[in-house]
Chains A and B, each alone.
Chain A
Amino acid sequence: MAEPLLQVRGLQVHFPIKRGLVVDRTVGHVRAVDGVDLQVDRGQTYGLVGESGCGKSTLGRAILRLEEPTGGTVLFDGQDVGALKAEPLRLIRRRMQMVFQDPLSSLDPRQSVESSLTEPLGVHGLAEADRAEFGADSARSHLAKASAMLDVVGLPRGSLAKYPHEFSGGQRQRIGIARAMILNPDLVIADEPVSALDVSVQAQVINLLEHLQDLLGLTYLVIAHDLAVVRHISDVIGVMYLGTLVEEADSDDLYARPLHPYTIALMSAIPIPDPVVEDRRERILLRGDLPSPANPPSGCRFHTRCPFRQPTRCDDEVPALREVAGSPGRRVACHYAEEIRDGRVHVADPHLLVEPTTAGAGGRP
């Protein structure tokens, strides 16, 4: 395949902590994103998973330069997004759009759907491909495009005159998606696109995103905490922990054989809606909580919670995100990835390993 659409190299976003609670002073930085490398090919869906506070949303925002990166480069279609001045940045933004998590707070409650959808067209104008169909930029052609877009996302045309509060959560998310797609972008970053929705509605939005990708040839970067959702729509998955990528793999491989201890524990923690599978699974529990990104642990950032932790090396040496011998196409940031895969390194503390039970919690089938 040709040059990837998006290349991120060593991206860092550090937020300064300006003052303490008691004394006025500057105390270090929150390293929300701390050196992330990834690339997304055209037409691909890259899924970014991680728990809250791992920096996945900040990474998404930094790629679009909604958050000013502290270091590293973002190459979008060969152009360095970080070096762009205001006007070229404005022009390139039409090609990279974002879908936000909570449609109720990302849509202006006092702006009608028509106004929400035509505003990006007013700023950027119709996409080249749409000019043929809708004519030159004018209020009329913008309106025509907006109502065609509503058709695509499956909302009735009459919705144009309505306001966000008149819609259900799923419909609002459709408006948010229509607004992001109306400029015919190349890259869409979707930050938790379904997590605010009801279970039965999530599938509708997931299918819509997939449908639009086929229709418009989009490239997605999907950010979510729900690994099952991410795995369903992504081709490649990156797992983040405390500001860094710890594992990257093809989404089928990742489930079949997670290599990083964090991914292994994360996978085993996700409940599967099937009692037969649930009873047979072995669970690896993680100790404690996510450490503070203002003061990340030395060495491997995961070593404070890692069930496979080995003496000294994990505490002292920062593991690089590297290719693992014998598992092509995956990158893992763990010193002992091969050993864990081959079963030569085991979970140290037996308390953290929950063996499968023969029956449910109550001891009944």
Chain B
Amino acid sequence: MSPVDQRTTTASSDRTLVSRSRREPVNRSEVLLEVRDLDVTFARRGGRATHAVDGVSFSVRPGEVVGIVGESGSGKSVTSLAVMGLLPRRGVQVRGEALYRGRNLLTMPAGELADLRGSELAMVFQDPMSSLNPVVPVGTQVTEVLLRHSDISRSEARDEAEDLLRRCGIPDPGRRLREYPHQLSGGMRQRALIAIALACRPALLICDEPTTALDVTIQAQVLELLKELVSDLGTAMVMITHDLGVVAGLCDSVNVMYAGRVVESAPRRELFEHPRHRYTEGLLGSIPRLDAPRGDPLQPIPGTPRDVIAWSAGCAFAPRCRHAADDCVVPDLGLEPLGRAGHLVRCVHPAPEDPQDLQDPQESRGVASGPMAEPSGAGGAHALAAADAPVTTTTEGERRG
């Protein structure tokens, strides 16, 4: 490439990652990663083993974003660590299959997996401060990946690293390369981490809560960067998050996890418009929305994520579910197709498909107290809520749980 060419490419691609692609055009229908019946058990000395992930299956195609949503302890991060082979060997049992282009990552020899990780598979972790090495300059950490996986010289790697940081939106990358992680702000550290993950243009990127530690305006920048990556390079992405807002804007299909199992899986529009599992429905009802009318009390899910029963005994969500009945205590409830194509639900009493039925109790309450009720009026709403819904006030919920 002549010097002139180089300059024009850099100028035109300052904001996009498109021109980086030296890879063959991606076949978007090929299944890149297929996880089948992934099962992770942590053995505990002197205690019962913890079944952290229990029969999770999903697949990702190039240019597709698959979301895994769940609260802390739902097994979403363990799923990603298991796929990447990053769980410790001792005391951990991983079963099932994770096929990347037909090769099982879980049984692959360590050397082969190490070749894939960082080049074709990459991961962005939640906390950039603890996943960057604090005593090594950022530049060295970026070039390390390049030197390990591609056949280039140190100076070429340095130029490439500078280019990467610039594309990830880090101003003055030449200086930043020489700095240590603590000298970078949180947003910049996360960008550096993304730059490291993107260094070898991975085909599959796993993001584990990549924006949770960031402020919203920085989160918007990082999400925009990830979107660009997926749409321009055709990277396949697994997005692990607890933030339903992030999922709504980014993911093509969503898996909702609860207590180690996927409880609902659907394309994103379908999931948000017709949540069928009671947990998904409850989650959507319990988060305040920026664009919703104010005044209605939130509908919390009673109890805490710790109040579970084993899936082998019955539905793990039953102890917190408003619609739980005796028939929910069925061992190993299946993830069944329900309603529209591609919608899978693990629930005995799924929410009705027509959302009108869901909104009914809320509407009657809105009429009674008025949406803009005075503080005293809101008190009335509380009393009403307690009267017409089975378990509505927080206090009762927690006592039950």
Residues of A that sit less than 8 Å from B by CB: 43, 51-52, 151-156, 168-171, 174, 198-208, 210-211, 213-215, 225, 227-229, 231-232, 251-252, 255, 265-279, 283, 285-286, 288-290, 351, 354, 360-365
| Known contacts A168-B306, A274-B289, A275-B269; is-contact A364 B252 (Cβ 8 Å) | yes
| Known contacts A153-B395, A211-B394, A272-B289; is-contact A200 B283 (Cβ 8 Å) | yes
| Known contacts A206-B298, A275-B269; is-contact A156 B289 (Cβ 8 Å) | no
Given the complex, which residues of B lie within 8 Å of A267, measured CB to CB? 290
Given the complex, which residues of B lie within 8 Å of A354, measured CB to CB? 224
Given the complex, which residues of A lie within 8 Å of B382, measured CB to CB? 210-211, 214
The one of A198, A201, A207, A360 in contact with B251, judged by C-beta atoms closer than 8 angstroms, is A360
Given the complex, which residues of B lie within 8 Å of A200, measured CB to CB? 71, 282-283, 286, 300-301, 304-305, 320
CA gap between A289 and B63 in the complex, in Å = 29
Cβ-defined contact, A285 with B221, below 8 A: yes
- How far apart are B72's CB and chain A's nearest CB, in angstroms? 6
CA gap between A225 and B220 in the complex, in Å = 15
Cβ-defined contact, B187 with A273, below 8 A: no
CA gap between A171 and B394 in the complex, in Å = 11
CA gap between A288 and B301 in the complex, in Å = 38
Cβ-defined contact, A255 with B65, below 8 A: no
| Known contacts A208-B395, A271-B246, A271-B249; is-contact A51 B215 (Cβ 8 Å) | yes
| Residue from A155, A198, A213 having most chain B Cβ neighbours under 10 A | A198
Further pairs besides A213-B375, A255-B290, A283-B224: 14, Cβ < 8 Å: A168-B304, A169-B304, A200-B305, A202-B287, A203-B394, A206-B288, A211-B395, A228-B290, A251-B294, A271-B245, A272-B248, A272-B289, A354-B224, A360-B251
Given the complex, which residues of A lie within 8 Å of B90, measured CB to CB? none
Closest to A235 in B: B375
Given the complex, which residues of A lie within 8 Å of B395, measured CB to CB? 151-154, 208, 211
Cβ of B297 < 8 Å from any Cβ of A?
yes
Given the complex, which residues of B lie within 8 Å of A266, measured CB to CB? 216-217
Cβ of B227 < 8 Å from any Cβ of A?
yes
Cβ of B219 < 8 Å from any Cβ of A?
yes
Given the complex, which residues of A lie within 8 Å of B284, measured CB to CB? 273
Closest to B188 in A: A289
Closest 3 CB pairs of A and B: A271-B245, A154-B395, A203-B300
The one of A156, A351, A365 in contact with B399, judged by C-beta atoms closer than 8 angstroms, is A156
- How far apart are A97's CB and chain B's nearest CB, in angstroms? 19
The one of A232, A283, A365 in contact with B269, judged by C-beta atoms closer than 8 angstroms, is A365
Cβ of B267 < 8 Å from any Cβ of A?
yes
Cβ-defined contact, B294 with A199, below 8 A: no
The one of A207, A278, A288 in contact with B300, judged by C-beta atoms closer than 8 angstroms, is A207
The 0/1 profile, CB within 8 Å of A marked 1, for residues 224-238 of chain B is: 101100110000000
8 A Cβ contacts from B69-87 to A:
71-72
26 contacts between A and B (CB under 8 A): A51-B215, A51-B218, A52-B215, A153-B395, A154-B393, A155-B398, A171-B304, A171-B398, A199-B242, A199-B287, A200-B300, A203-B301, A255-B291, A267-B290, A270-B216, A272-B290, A272-B291, A273-B245, A274-B272, A274-B291, A286-B220, A286-B221, A289-B188, A290-B185, A361-B230, A362-B65
Closest to B185 in A: A289
| Known contacts A154-B396, A273-B245; is-contact A252 B294 (Cβ 8 Å) | yes
The one of B217, B251, B320 in contact with A286, judged by C-beta atoms closer than 8 angstroms, is B217
**Majority secondary structure, A binding face:** helix
Cβ of B268 < 8 Å from any Cβ of A?
yes
Cβ-defined contact, B393 with A269, below 8 A: no
Given the complex, which residues of B lie within 8 Å of A228, measured CB to CB? 287-290
Closest to B271 in A: A275
| Known contacts A156-B399, A198-B72; is-contact A360 B250 (Cβ 8 Å) | yes
- How far apart are A187's CB and chain B's nearest CB, in angstroms? 15
| Known contacts A51-B217, A214-B376, A269-B219; is-contact A362 B282 (Cβ 8 Å) | no
Closest to B284 in A: A273
| Residue from B64, B250, B291 having most chain A Cβ neighbours under 10 A | B291
The one of B249, B252, B396 in contact with A362, judged by C-beta atoms closer than 8 angstroms, is B252
Given the complex, which residues of B lie within 8 Å of A283, measured CB to CB? 220, 224
8 A Cβ contacts from B277-333 to A:
282-284, 286-291, 294, 297-302, 304-306, 320
CA gap between A198 and B304 in the complex, in Å = 8
- How far apart are B234's CB and chain A's nearest CB, in angstroms? 9
Cβ-defined contact, A273 with B287, below 8 A: yes
Cβ of B171 < 8 Å from any Cβ of A?
yes
Cβ-defined contact, B300 with A362, below 8 A: no
Cβ of B15 < 8 Å from any Cβ of A?
yes
The one of B216, B227, B272 in contact with A225, judged by C-beta atoms closer than 8 angstroms, is B216
| Residue from B72, B272, B394 having most chain A Cβ neighbours under 10 A | B394
Cβ-defined contact, B288 with A232, below 8 A: yes
Cβ of B379 < 8 Å from any Cβ of A?
yes
Given the complex, which residues of B lie within 8 Å of A156, measured CB to CB? 399
Cβ of B244 < 8 Å from any Cβ of A?
yes
Closest to A209 in B: B394
Cβ-defined contact, A363 with B231, below 8 A: yes
Cβ-defined contact, A278 with B249, below 8 A: yes
The one of B63, B269, B288 in contact with A231, judged by C-beta atoms closer than 8 angstroms, is B288
